[in-house]
Structure 1
Amino acid sequence: MATAIRTTLRAGLPDRYLTPEDIADLFSVPLETVYAWRKKRTGPPGFRIGKHLRYAPEAVHAWIGTRIEADAA
């Protein structure tokens, strides 16, 4: 699944919102890390749809860009 997500993100934006599990797979981090990022507000911005947490692919791409810029500085 992670490979499919990476391929989709490289080729363009996926046609669906990403789940916390998708984010964990994408960055090869434990799911707990994704939730810790959210709690600390240091990870990609997510939003709730009812009780479900989702991430917009565009927001994840923007977050990656800010991380790359911060590391380059």
Structure 2
Amino acid sequence: MHPRPTDLPPRYLRTKEAAHFLSLSARTLEKHRTYGTGPAYHKLGGRVVYSVDDLQAWANRGAVTSTTDPRGAVLPAKRHQAPADARTRNFGR
């Protein structure tokens, strides 16, 4: 007897597979992970994996019905800022 689909454990995808699922590049998905703007992910044995349900939920949050819908706004990328001591360093002057 084969298990019913509802009896199967959640399916997890590695970054490359998850990116393909979302029609994104793996690098774009990695950047979203770094900036905290992407789908939820898990670390299993030191590997980053995404559940299909989390990928679908993240994609659904981006669904809009009009170009004027504020939900369609792209989140700005976080700018990396040098530590305060590096910004105020005199560099020998």
TM surpasses 0.5:
yes
1:36 paired residue among 7, 31, 46: 31
Higher share of residues assigned helix: 1
RMSD: 1.9
Q: Is the 8 A contact 2:42 2:50 kept in 1?
A: yes
**Larger RCO (CA within 8 A; separation ≥ 6):** 1
With structure 2 as the length reference, what TM-score do the two structures score? 0.54
Scaled by the length of structure 1, the TM-score of the pair is: 0.66
Matched residue, 2:52: 57
Aligned residues: 58
Computing the radius of gyration from Cα coordinates, the structure with the larger value is 2
Structure 1 regions of 5+ residues with no counterpart? 1-14
Percent identity over the alignment is 25
SS of 2:55 mapped into structure 1:
helix
